[in-house]
Structure 1
Amino acid sequence: MTSLFSFLVVLSVLIFIHELGHYLLARLLGVGVERFSIGFGPRLAGWTSGRTDFRISAIPLGGYVKMVGDEPDAELPEEDIPLSFTHKPVWKRMLIVAAGPFFNLLLAVFFLWGLVFWYGLPVMDPVVGDVKAGSPAASAGLRVGDLVVRVDDRSVDSWEEIQKLIRRASEDQAMVFEVDRGDGIRQVRIFPELMPTPDALGAMVMRMGIGADPFIPPTIGFVSPGFPAAEAGLKSGDRVIKVNGADSPTWMVMARKIQESSGERLILDVEREGIRLSLEMQTREEVMEDGLGGKITRHVVGIAPEPYTRAEKLGFLGSMLEGTRQTGEIVTVTGIALARMVKGSLSRDNLGGPILIAQMAGSEARKGLANLLAFIAVISVNLALLNLLPIPVLDGGHLMFYTIELLRGKPVSVRGREVAQQVGIFLLLSLMVFAFYNDILRLFRG
């Protein structure tokens, strides 16, 4: 019930904001609106204001704004022509169509801004948690447990600051790390180099690095539905004590042991609310880009850490900028994920539909309001980008038609639009069927 209720809340908020964007721009630019509907199908409830019927409809899997004259070949009374969508200049129609996805992006900015302002920005302490053998950090003598206090005469207060400085560094220039080992401050000179580094989606990309990672406790922050960890019963908040009988003091040590299992059965000893449990699972094999134009095989169980150790207050303006930056980052990651799915370098098994969204919404709602709002922000960005794809029947398809109209000086023919919309409906239905198929497979696996 929590998942169902959370799903309806998430979907209602996203649909309302999206359609509100279309509605407000339409009214602002002088277009009449006949219907504002949350959902499709028969009208369940609502009210009428002016000529607009605001309604909640029976099928809660979308929504729409019905504007005066939005069908190009429809006959209109003379008095409705000034209010007709079709009779407006093409640039006005483009703004009205683009307003829906834009409002979804604004929603993400607003929620993330509010979360950062209220709770602070989660950051990791500048403590070394892992040093890779043979890396620049290992060669320079950096150690696990070192507290980094300065880098190149700049004070650092978080691991994120260290990462930014490293990524801006040059290969031929040493970076001076001042570290505290409990017995005084000492300097360590490290020459960073380009090395394969996992990006936000797990694929390897070439970035400047030193071969050291922050201290991250082996506590589960998120369990992906349908993956081996979820099937075995691993839950958010579980602390991993051992992997196949070997101690797991940090997340990186645990991750390495999982990767080294190469598909063999794993036994994870975890602590959950003071109770010790042993959970058995088998890794799933995934092929990812290696950052050098090739492929690598990773063994995953579908878990992510909870790495942040504290929250940093940024103030009103700083929180707004951070919320905007985070939204931009989600846009980038989502765009890369879509591109990799098309190329086949990211498994299409990651694609999910309403069932997966409901599962994740319920999971985030159980963690608290902040997690649910952050989840809505991410899904809102996904909805915006999906709607901007150049597929007829989506907002991006309409924008494509209007761009052609701008270039040709006349609209696409009615027949051309009809054929394109039929193709668009087929593509959209195929995508929905595939997403439902993945959802159902996850349910059976679970």
Structure 2
Amino acid sequence: MFSFTGISVTELCDAWSLMLAAGEDPGFLAGLLSQVWLWVKVAIGIGLVIFVHELGHFLAAKFFGVKCEKFYVGFDVPIQLGPIKLPRTLGKFQYGETEYGIGILPLGGYVKMLGQDDDPRNAEKEAERIKVDGDDEATEPQFDPRSYPAKPVWQRMIIISAGVIVNVITGILFAAMAYGFGVPYTPAVVGGVTPGGAAWTAGVRPGGEVIAVADLRSEDQLHFNEMKLEIMEQSFDDPDQAVGVQIRYGDDVNEYKLVPQPYPDDPDMRMIGISNASSAQLMPGQSVYPGSVAADVIDDDLAGATVVAIDGQAVDSESVAPATLIDQLLLRRADQDVKLTLQPVGDDSPRDVVLAPQPMRGVGVSFRPGPITAVRKDSPAEKAGIKVGDVITAVDGNENVDAYDLVLRSSLDSVIQTPITLTVVRGQGAAEETLEFELQADSDAAGLAPISPAASDIASGSLGIAFRPRPFVASADQTDADEQLKPGDELKEVRVQWAGGKVPESVQQQLSDEALLRLTEGWEFGSPSSLNSFVTLVQWLPEGTRFQAFAKTAQDSRVIETELVVGPTDLFWHERGLVFQPTAGVQRADGIASAFQLGMREGGRRLKDVFGFLGLLVQGKVKAKYVGGPIRIVQMAGAQAEQGISKQLLFLTMLSMNLAILNFLPIPALDGGHMMFLTAELIRGKRVDEQLEMKLTLAGVLAILALMIFVFANDIIQSS
């Protein structure tokens, strides 16, 4: 039987020539062989899922005495590219009455049974081939008893459904094996809350353990990715529906109703604003960011060390979010020296290091705050009566309000003891009014992260307000620029001018290729998170780095060109260059029964995911960019295979469930289409009109071909 799935294998035809070109470079050869082996594992994994599907059809057909003429993984179709004619197979052999092989086109597989052909053009020819004439002309022709059409309807139904059933069973077995080996995962723990996000606004605090999201609940540790997937599916179905979230803090369980908010740069994706936690152990590979104050005092001997105390306060490495205390104290004491006590790897003697404050770098421009976008529950701002939409025009009487200065200073222990007076404008036109509020900062919430490069808003946890910084100049200090920026001017785009035309090595280590490309070709301040991303990125650029900048003047809307230079400010950044190991766990079955139970749960969730996604797709609630085809399947398979056998097995579980459901859709030429015809035959007592069945099958084949073209094109577009 024909099975359909999106599959593509990365081309490796130049592998040997590349190896020869590498000469005696062992690093290159090792990397190349590692990559080849990775894609071999991907091909084996995907091929295995297709193989067991077709094996289900094959074994069921054999059990009922049907002659199977071919068993193929991939399709042995003729392919010709101009004068080049490709072989139909990558290999084949005959064993008994069946030809086994691997087809040249890796987009599925099939079992060719006597009297059955998914190609409508061959239907009549196949029907004639299996007819057995009677003894005289009055006797109707009979089918070969070993042909597929000669079998009773119920047997044909079992043969048709066997592939799907085997995929479901093997999918569960894949998952059970994965949990037998042990599945690494990121726990659903609140490591931080996104400034101004739904969790931040509702008063969610870091350090809690998420135990339930909507209908998703786990008897053991909930996985962070499972939580994200559940939120995404809920928001696809109804973007404005609040998601129920239960978070455990010690013995207490807090319940929240959170409305997922759009990702700043992808409004179709939504989040509740919870980030995963980190351990107190520094990353062994890269414990510090180059150019940071941490890099000045943490040497190679301390790589991978564990922070056991900060300023004499013990850090509980067994807590659900060990790095939370460290991050909060570093933020609240950003203007002070902080002493870290580190336990080196394999050393019984702790070592103390002192982290100096990390000066914030700027480009000679401060930015204005936009209207308040969120007010945190039970915060000083909410109690004082500040509302969403209010615009801050002065802080302690100073009308030159710097957005980043406000959120960073209001988090400092040295500042939060003193009340802060905010002047805001509320309303517009005749309803506009100016109000003043005196706020006493909340020291317990001062440690909430004020800035996230992936978020559009910045926030003061101690005051309980969030707003979007805008690329409008509050003040500027450009001593060397010919064209000076003035308050109110809007920064539109910047382009980096690397000294000597070469990117410094420390910057290459720190920034992604995408960020470097945007900086070089032009960083535009059009997307919601672009300003936050830029300000964060500037912290790791060398002082003296120059930007060519373009701005629109407030006075006459001219576009002017000016120059910005990276330099120190009188503020201190909330991070000092420490890189912590993310919190991770391993879920391992404690026996065969436990592994099977976990496999059943995993298989059930994946089936639910596929059904849910298809339902949303039919309703038009999911956009095409979220539909993955063969190219993305291979990319995902490669990414999972790199993480180990357990992750690859779980991916195969997901792929098995996808293959099972997609092949059982009621589309002629797929297993579900055959089952649809058989059901009609069972009800009617006779076969569906052959001409109608042939036409519907042809339409199904054309629909599948159109779908394959679409998903291929969609993959290429989304990957570009």
Change (3 A) 1:132 1:324: farther
Q: Find the aligned partners of 2:494 and 2:42 in 1 and give their Cα distance.
A: 33
Q: Find the aligned partners of 1:379 and 1:177 in 2 and give their Cα distance.
A: 33
Q: Find the aligned partners of 1:85 and 1:434 in 2 and give their Cα distance.
A: 33
SS of match in other structure, 1:46: strand
Query: 1:45 matched to which residue of 2?
Result: 91
Q: Check if 1:21 corresponds to 2:82.
A: no
- The alpha carbon displacement at 1:44 in A equals 4.7
Query: 2:434 matched to which residue of 1?
Result: none
Alignment-mate amino acid for residue 668 of structure 2: P
Q: Find the aligned partners of 1:50 and 1:80 in 2 and give their Cα distance.
A: 22
Specify which of 30, 47, 71 is matched with residue 12 of structure 1. 47
SS of match in other structure, 2:697: helix
Query: 1:324 matched to which residue of 2?
Result: 600
Specify which of 685, 688, 699 is matched with residue 412 of structure 1. 688
Q: Check if 1:61 corresponds to 2:69.
A: no
Query: 1:236 matched to which residue of 2?
Result: none
1:69-118 CA-partner distances (Å, limit 9, x unpaired): 22673342659733221111111111111111222222221111111111
SS of match in other structure, 2:149: coil
Change (3 A) 1:137 1:357: closer
Specify which of 265, 272, 277 is matched with residue 511 of structure 2. 277
Q: Find the aligned partners of 2:696 and 2:252 in 1 and give their Cα distance.
A: 62
1:179-224 CA-partner distances (Å, limit 9, x unpaired): 2xxxxxxx6574x3554359xxx8779xxxxx895743499xxxxx
- The alpha carbon displacement at 1:429 in A equals 1.2
1:113-171 CA-partner distances (Å, limit 9, x unpaired): 111111147462766644998989988x874235799xxxxxx974569x9xxxxxxxx
Change (3 A) 1:266 1:435: farther
Q: Find the aligned partners of 1:129 and 1:384 in 2 and give their Cα distance.
A: 39
Specify which of 396, 402, 419 is matched with residue 678 of structure 2. 402
Q: Check if 1:216 corresponds to 2:216.
A: no
Q: Find the aligned partners of 2:663 and 2:148 in 1 and give their Cα distance.
A: 20
Alignment-mate amino acid for residue 393 of structure 1: A
- The alpha carbon displacement at 1:53 in A equals 1.7
Query: 1:288 matched to which residue of 2?
Result: none
Q: Find the aligned partners of 2:249 and 2:197 in 1 and give their Cα distance.
A: 21
- The alpha carbon displacement at 1:323 in A equals 1.3
- Contact between 1:128 and 1:147, CA under 8 Å: does it hold in 2? no
- Contact between 1:130 and 1:215, CA under 8 Å: does it hold in 2? no
TM-score, with length taken from structure 1: 0.67
- The alpha carbon displacement at 1:397 in A equals 0.6
Q: Find the aligned partners of 2:493 and 2:600 in 1 and give their Cα distance.
A: 43
Q: Check if 1:309 corresponds to 2:562.
A: no
Per mean C-alpha deviation after superposition, the further-off stretch among 106-115 and 54-63 is 54-63
Alignment-mate amino acid for residue 124 of structure 1: P
Query: 1:113 matched to which residue of 2?
Result: 176
- Contact between 2:198 and 2:258, CA under 8 Å: does it hold in 1? no
SS of match in other structure, 1:82: coil
Query: 2:322 matched to which residue of 1?
Result: none
- Aligned 1:280-429 pairs, distance under 5 A: 280=515, 309-315=584-590, 316-429=592-705
Q: Find the aligned partners of 1:417 and 1:67 in 2 and give their Cα distance.
A: 18
- Contact between 2:185 and 2:584, CA under 8 Å: does it hold in 1? yes
Gaps of 5+ in 1: 150-155, 164-174, 180-186, 206-210, 220-240, 286-296
- The alpha carbon displacement at 1:392 in A equals 0.6
Q: Find the aligned partners of 2:210 and 2:717 in 1 and give their Cα distance.
A: 46
- Contact between 2:185 and 2:223, CA under 8 Å: does it hold in 1? no
- Contact between 1:45 and 1:56, CA under 8 Å: does it hold in 2? yes
Query: 2:127 matched to which residue of 1?
Result: 73
1:253-286 CA-partner distances (Å, limit 9, x unpaired): 5654489799x9999xxxx9x9422653699x9x
Alignment-mate amino acid for residue 127 of structure 2: D
Q: Find the aligned partners of 1:118 and 1:17 in 2 and give their Cα distance.
A: 22
- Contact between 2:208 and 2:247, CA under 8 Å: does it hold in 1? no
Query: 2:372 matched to which residue of 1?
Result: none
Q: Find the aligned partners of 1:337 and 1:298 in 2 and give their Cα distance.
A: 29
Alignment-mate amino acid for residue 621 of structure 2: S
- Contact between 1:258 and 1:266, CA under 8 Å: does it hold in 2? no
- Contact between 1:127 and 1:148, CA under 8 Å: does it hold in 2? yes
Q: Find the aligned partners of 2:718 and 2:650 in 1 and give their Cα distance.
A: 24
Gaps of 5+ in 2: 1-11, 13-34, 77-87, 117-122, 133-141, 212-218, 228-245, 262-267, 283-326, 328-360, 363-403, 409-446, 459-467, 471-491, 496-505, 534-580
Specify which of 103, 121, 125 is matched with residue 166 of structure 2. 103
Alignment-mate amino acid for residue 216 of structure 1: A
Q: Find the aligned partners of 2:60 and 2:469 in 1 and give their Cα distance.
A: 55
Q: Find the aligned partners of 1:440 and 1:105 in 2 and give their Cα distance.
A: 30
1:287-311 CA-partner distances (Å, limit 9, x unpaired): xxxxxxxxxx999x9xxxx976212
- Contact between 1:364 and 1:371, CA under 8 Å: does it hold in 2? yes
SS of match in other structure, 1:34: strand
- Contact between 2:42 and 2:634, CA under 8 Å: does it hold in 1? yes
SS of match in other structure, 1:73: helix
Q: Find the aligned partners of 2:200 and 2:636 in 1 and give their Cα distance.
A: 38
Change (3 A) 1:217 1:427: farther
Q: Find the aligned partners of 1:29 and 1:389 in 2 and give their Cα distance.
A: 25
- Contact between 2:628 and 2:715, CA under 8 Å: does it hold in 1? yes
Change (3 A) 1:254 1:408: farther
The structure that is helix-richer by fraction is: 1
- Contact between 1:121 and 1:314, CA under 8 Å: does it hold in 2? no
Q: Find the aligned partners of 1:82 and 1:214 in 2 and give their Cα distance.
A: 63
Tell me the number of residue pairs that the alignment of Structure 1 and Structure 2 aligns.
371
SS of match in other structure, 1:378: helix
SS of match in other structure, 2:511: strand
SS of match in other structure, 1:83: coil
- Contact between 2:70 and 2:112, CA under 8 Å: does it hold in 1? yes
- Contact between 1:104 and 1:383, CA under 8 Å: does it hold in 2? yes
SS of match in other structure, 1:370: helix
- The alpha carbon displacement at 1:324 in A equals 1.5
- Contact between 1:39 and 1:59, CA under 8 Å: does it hold in 2? yes
Change (3 A) 1:435 1:148: closer
Query: 1:228 matched to which residue of 2?
Result: none
- The alpha carbon displacement at 1:367 in A equals 3.2
Identical aligned residues as a percent: 29
Q: Find the aligned partners of 1:258 and 1:16 in 2 and give their Cα distance.
A: 50
Q: Find the aligned partners of 2:613 and 2:247 in 1 and give their Cα distance.
A: 36
Change (3 A) 1:193 1:142: closer
- RMSD of aligned Cα (Å): 4.9
Q: Find the aligned partners of 1:403 and 1:261 in 2 and give their Cα distance.
A: 62
TM-score, with length taken from structure 2: 0.43
Q: Find the aligned partners of 2:469 and 2:649 in 1 and give their Cα distance.
A: 36
- Aligned 1:234-273 pairs, distance under 5 A: 256-257=455-456
